[in-house]
Amino acid sequence: MAVKALYPGTFDPPTNGHVDLIQRGSKLFEHLTVAVLNNRGKNPLFTVAERVEMLEEATRSLGNVSVATFDGLMVDFARSLGASAVLRGIRAISDYEFEFQMALMNRRLAPEIETVFLQPAGRYSFVSSRMVKEVFSFGGDIAGLVPPNVLKRLRGRMPKQ
């Protein structure tokens, strides 16, 4: 059975941990849609369009991956795509608690959509978009934590202190 999946997130900015999950998810599913959430409640560094561009650049070599945007309920967007699975990454126990609650709510709203949890590669298990932005803003070296195209954009957006 061919399975379409959705990997939703804010991706502000995309990290190598995100790319790792996308690459691995592309091997598990017939098609994987990376969905950038247009969350008006957050104050992102990059626009939705910029995040889509960065993800498209970072995943260009993956033929069964596309990038889209959404707002509203993720399960409604997943249904509109015909996705029967949602891919989520878990770095630590603290992620699991939040993700587990979200998966249970999504199951209540859309019992036909399964949540699949993957752990990022060990070398990315501590990496988050928030941490990348913070370390970079203080002049820390984030090479190897984000794709080269993202590092270039960060340098243009957030000059090192």
Q: If DSSP states are collapsed to H, E and C, what string results for 76-112? A: HHHHHHCCCEEEEECCCHHHHHHHHHHHHHHHHHCCC
Q: How many residues does the chain have?
A: 161
Q: Which residues contact 58 (CB under 8 A, 6 or more apart)?
A: 14, 19, 22, 147, 149, 150
* 108 among known catalytic residues: no
- Of the residues 4, 31, 79, 91, only one is catalytic, namely 91
- Of the residues 51, 129, 133, 153, only one is catalytic, namely 129
Query: Phi first, then psi: what are they for 66, rounded to 5°?
Result: -130, 165
* 31 among known catalytic residues: no
- Of the residues 42, 123, 130, 157, only one is catalytic, namely 42
* 18 among known catalytic residues: yes
* 91 among known catalytic residues: yes
d(CA 154, CA 105): 34
Q: Which residues are catalytic?
A: 18, 42, 91, 129
